[in-house]
Amino acid sequence: MRYHAHICWLCRTLLAASLLAAGKAPASESANPTNAAPDRIGVYDSRAIAYAVFWGEDFQRQLREQNQAAKAARDRGDTELFQKLDKALAEQQQKIHQQVFSTAPATEALRVLQGRLPEIQKQAGVSRLISKWNTPELKQYPSAEHVDVTDALLSEFKLTDKHLKVIEAIRSKEPVPLPAPPSP
């Protein structure tokens, strides 16, 4: 498996080099070179964004559909399908808890806003968005000014006063440490 990963890395490197040589660098390669530090970075509390996405209409509809499918499988006696769906729901719940109450990356949550992110970044005057909990990535830009864009991201959701109070409480607390990865 290591050999395969090494070959894939080599193939990507060679492809990028050939595209650069041809003057056709992929957008992700040429848009923000790693050695060019941005002046301003938009930081956000990923816990708040994950919570907002969780209570969004799309996610709640998807959750209802998954629960209904599991219940239907159980009601018709399809134990194998029910166990599979029940396990998937439990794993999803654990992932959500880690995103909302800890520092697990909320990449799916940002995907919900993907179409609006360029405008949000432009309005905030930031070159990129990084979770305030992503210390390794933030350390790559030691001289960059950090601009909190959490509220700008949250404004994209239809949140009730109750949701906003919960988000405020989440943001006022330190995140729960992520569980240690299982040892091999």
Within 10 A of 6 (CB to CB), how many other CB atoms are there?
A: 10
**Which helix (H) or strand (E) is 6 found in, with range?**
helix 2-21
**Residue 14 and residue 160: Cα distance in Å, rounded?**
50
User: Global pTM?
Assistant: 0.72
SS3 state of residue 108: helix
pLDDT over 90 at 131, yes or no: yes
Residues in the chain: 184
pLDDT tens for 51-61 read 999 998 888 99
**Residue 63 and residue 109: Cα distance in Å, rounded?**
15
What is the average pLDDT value for the chain, to the nearest integer?
A: 81
**Residue 140 and residue 144: Cα distance in Å, rounded?**
9
pLDDT over 70 at 35, yes or no: no
Q: Which residues contact 135 (CB under 8 A, 6 or more apart)?
A: none
pLDDT over 60 at 180, yes or no: yes
Query: What is the structure's pLDDT at 155?
Result: 94
Q: Which residues contact 98 (CB under 8 A, 6 or more apart)?
A: 104, 178, 179
Which sequence spans correspond to the domains of the chain? 44-172
